[in-house]
């Protein structure tokens, strides 16, 4: 397998930049690392806007709504508009409303946070569970005799849920076990999420008990990267030419696979979760990007200004 070209000259940056009309950008690892903006990225984003490029921020984080994400971008001093932000929570809401045509008289049982509920509200989908205090109260026994299933529940949607407990898993399972017409969806299947320089169980780990309990009976539709429903939802919202689009990310298994699976060219940035040995080593990954660059911020040289100094 031929390794992808490593771009490291202004000429190479120009050729790539001019060939793209729509940039799909992962956030953590590409735009920022935690609370620190990647050097040069603000200038690159400004250059994209000045030259009429479309920007779509794509993230698997379903805990934040687009409104919440805009607040994060504002604090970092990054220009971003709500209609440019596409998290797996909003992608799930768009997928349900525009692709599944989820009935207006049905509700979704949610394993998730306020941000996910906010995105369901934004498209007019009713929901229960989620942050409801009643469902976040742990039951000390496995007695579900008190529980009367809600006949209006037509889907179970699982995202990251810091209030996960046996009660919520039991309710979600009962809806999926008893009615084959109830949709089973996961916002994403990330095993872990990075925070404070380390990793903790992610959304996929929290939904794993349901997936395992229903194995062989029900298979979930997984919305987020690297799966096609995420791209279907993005295209339903933003029309663009895939041949003139580029997915930029730092993770081979999510970002790069997402772009590859969707027929887009892909750009891997280093400095995130991927090591160069995975691309250029003796045993490279089966998932490879179209191009590699050290940092998205390196493209800032195209604005003709002096390079930023790193600390």
Burial of 136: CB neighbours in 10 Å, binned 0-12, 13-18, 19+: middle
Q: Quick check: is 26 catalytic?
A: yes
Q: Is 232 annotated as a binding residue?
A: no
Question: What gap in Å lies between CA 126 and CA 270, rounded to an integer?
Answer: 41
Q: Is 255 annotated as a binding residue?
A: no
CA distances, 307 to each of 36, 221, 298, 299 (Å): 17, 44, 8, 10
Question: What gap in Å lies between CA 71 and CA 76, rounded to an integer?
Answer: 9
Helix crossing, 203-213 with 166-178: angle to 10°? 50
Q: Is 298 annotated as a binding residue?
A: no
The catalytic position among 18, 21, 28, 282 is 28
* Angle at alpha carbon of residue 86, lines to 292 and 249, rounded to 5°: 10
Q: Is 8 annotated as a binding residue?
A: no
- The helix (H) or strand (E) run that includes residue 212 is helix 203-213
Question: What gap in Å lies between CA 40 and CA 2, rounded to an integer?
Answer: 30
The catalytic position among 18, 21, 26, 143 is 26
DSSP-derived letter for residue 209 is H
**Is there a contact between 20 and 14 (Cβ–Cβ < 8 Å)?**
no
Residue positions in the annotated binding site for Mg(2+)?
26, 28, 250
Active-site residues, by number, are 26, 28
Residue positions in the annotated binding site for substrate?
225
Residue positions in the annotated binding site?
26, 28, 225, 250
């Amino acid at each position: 397998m031929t390794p992808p070209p490593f771009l490291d000259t202004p000429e190479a940056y120009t050729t790539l930049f001019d060939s793209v009309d729509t940039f799909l950008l992962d956030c953590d690892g590409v735009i920022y690392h935690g609370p620190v903006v990647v050097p040069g990225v603000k200038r690159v984003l400004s250059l994209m806007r000045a030259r009429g490029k479309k920007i779509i921020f794509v993230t698997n984080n379903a805990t934040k709504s687009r409104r919440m994400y805009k607040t994060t971008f504002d604090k970092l001093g990054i220009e971003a508009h709500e209609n440019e932000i596409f998290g797996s929570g909003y992608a799930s809401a768009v997928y349900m409303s525009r692709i599944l045509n989820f009935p207006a008289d049905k509700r979704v049982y949610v394993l998730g946070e306020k941000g996910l509920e906010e995105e369901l509200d934004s498209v007019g989908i009713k929901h229960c569970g989620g942050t409801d205090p009643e469902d976040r109260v742990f039951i000390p026994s496995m007695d579900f005799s008190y529980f009367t299933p809600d006949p209006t529940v037509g889907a179970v949607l699982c995202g990251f849920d810091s209030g996960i407990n046996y009660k919520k898993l039991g309710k979600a399972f009962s809806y999926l076990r008893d009615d084959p017409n109830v949709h089973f969806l996961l916002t994403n299947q990330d095993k872990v999420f990075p925070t404070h320089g380390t990793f903790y169980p992610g959304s996929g780990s929290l939904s794993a008990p349901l997936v395992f309990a229903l194995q062989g009976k029900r298979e979930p539709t997984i919305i987020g990267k690297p799966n096609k429903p995420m791209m279907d939802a993005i295209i339903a919202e933003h029309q663009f030419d895939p041949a003139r689009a580029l997915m930029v990310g730092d993770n081979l298994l999510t970002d790069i696979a997402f772009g590859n699976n969707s027929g887009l060219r892909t750009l891997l940035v280093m400095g995130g979760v991927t090591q160069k040995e995975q691309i250029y080593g003796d045993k490279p990954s089966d998932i490879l990007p179209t191009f590699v660059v050290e940092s998205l911020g390196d493209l800032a040289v195209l604005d003709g200004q002096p390079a930023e100094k790193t600390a």
